[in-house]
Amino acid sequence: MSSESPTKKDIYNKYHLKKVINASGRMTILGVSTPRSEVIDTVSCGLNEYFEIKDLVDKTGQYIAQLLNVENAVVVSCASAGIVQAVAGLITKDDRDLLFNLHSSDKYVPREIIVPKGHNINFGAPIGTMVSLGGGIMVEAGYANECKPEHIESLINPDTVAILYVKSHHCVQKSMLSVAQTAAIARKYDIPLIVDAAAEEDLQTYYQQGADLAIYSGAKAIEGPTSGLVIGRHQAVEWLKLQSQGIGRPMKIGKEGILGLTKAIELYVTDPQSETGQQMVAKMTPFIESLNTLKGISAKVVWDGAGRDIARAEIAFDASVIGKTAVEIIELMKQGEIAVYFREYKANEGKVDADVRSVTSTQLDIIYQKIKNITQGAQ
């Protein structure tokens, strides 16, 4: 058998995989992001060495904590696993019976996790499922379009374990209390605050605002391997780490992932290379101008709904002119030799968003030609 490293072409041919242009952003269904070469080299090194894993977990966590100026940190397998283990850690603390029998023990322990109703989302899986896996019982505060401090305060009782705040574009944005307001409530009642900040770009602000545990995806803004990062108060992180002996065992991350994300965080903090929103605008402007020459199509720049410095191209399809709905166009864009994926959240409004962070100018030309062929009847 050949020992040569497979080429990109080999991978696509061997497994009969379709090439993808990712205009949807840092999405799990497409593999999220592409790490820098330094991260890939670190992953390779990690794969080929042995470590005392507990020591690796502790020492890399200490290193990350120093980089970010936080009390404690740990690398986990993904952000959703971080939510599960955060909830479980705050419920079980250092109780070994609960650690080993989280879902079967009949011992009384507080289990309620308060979540603003507008944050009870499906991010690819339900937030409520992550809470339940961690042994918690989710309690919704406020309404789908409104959550004020008093809505959360009215639900706090002896069974309350923590408040979970989800910072995401998936969530309702209007009439929601802020992380800082939520942290003030948590401090007032001496209960922990968990912030799910999976796709967020600032690795310090939520901790600084008062989160006891802040959870990030390692493969999104940080552009590491598939992984997650949890930072926060020392004891809360230590309780979470104990879950490797319980519910966290099937969620364990390998040595290569731990080292790869640690390197990615180091680069993210010391040598950031991400595009600014204005750079994204410059890259997509010729693409938008070309789209606006097509009948039944209008395109413009829109900014991230959750306030991140991300610009996208919003493309509106007039079904009465084109003869196809946005939903139909979305599916047709995925067909053929190259599949193009957009952000599909506005499809019911006849629109899609193109996220250009992982798209080259050449690929934008391919996307334009494919849209033109589909909408102008050339396909």
Three-state DSSP state, 27: coil
pLDDT reported for residue 30: 64
pLDDT reported for residue 379: 42
Residue 124: other Cβ atoms inside 10 A: 10
* Residue 300 · residue 294 · CB < 8 Å: no
Give the closest residue to 169 by CA, choosing from 208, 139, 124.
124
Cβ burial of 131 (10 Å; 0-12, 13-18, 19+) is buried
Angle between helix axes 255-270 and 53-68 (nearest 10 degrees) is 10
Residues 6+ away with beta carbon under 8 Å from 179: 165, 167, 195, 206, 209, 210, 211
pLDDT tens-digit profile, the chain (379 residues): 344 556 666 877 787 777 888 887 776 666 667 778 889 899 998 888 888 999 999 999 999 999 999 999 999 999 999 999 999 999 999 999 999 999 999 899 999 999 999 898 888 889 999 999 999 999 999 999 999 999 999 999 999 999 999 998 777 788 889 999 999 999 999 999 999 998 888 999 999 999 999 999 988 888 889 899 999 999 999 999 999 999 999 999 999 999 999 999 999 888 776 778 888 899 889 999 999 999 999 999 988 876 778 889 899 999 899 988 999 998 999 888 888 888 888 888 999 898 888 888 889 999 999 999 888 875 4
Give the closest residue to 28 by CA, choosing from 219, 214, 203, 169.
219
Three-state DSSP state, 71: coil
* Residue 192 · residue 162 · CB < 8 Å: yes
pLDDT reported for residue 27: 66
Measure the CA–CA gap between 218 and 32, rounded to whole angstroms: 10
Give the closest residue to 330 by CA, choosing from 371, 378, 368.
371
pLDDT reported for residue 173: 80
* Residue 292 · residue 337 · CB < 8 Å: no
CATH number for 37-270: choose from 3.40.640.10, 3.40.50.720, 3.40.190.10, 3.40.50.2020: 3.40.640.10
Phi, psi of 196 (to 5 degrees): -85, 105
pTM over 0.85: no
pLDDT reported for residue 50: 85
Measure the CA–CA gap between 110 and 135, rounded to whole angstroms: 10
Angle between helix axes 53-68 and 234-242 (nearest 10 degrees) is 150
Domain boundaries, the chain: 8-31+274-375, 37-270
Question: What is 8-31+274-375's CATH topology?
Answer: Aspartate Aminotransferase, domain 1 (3.90.1150)
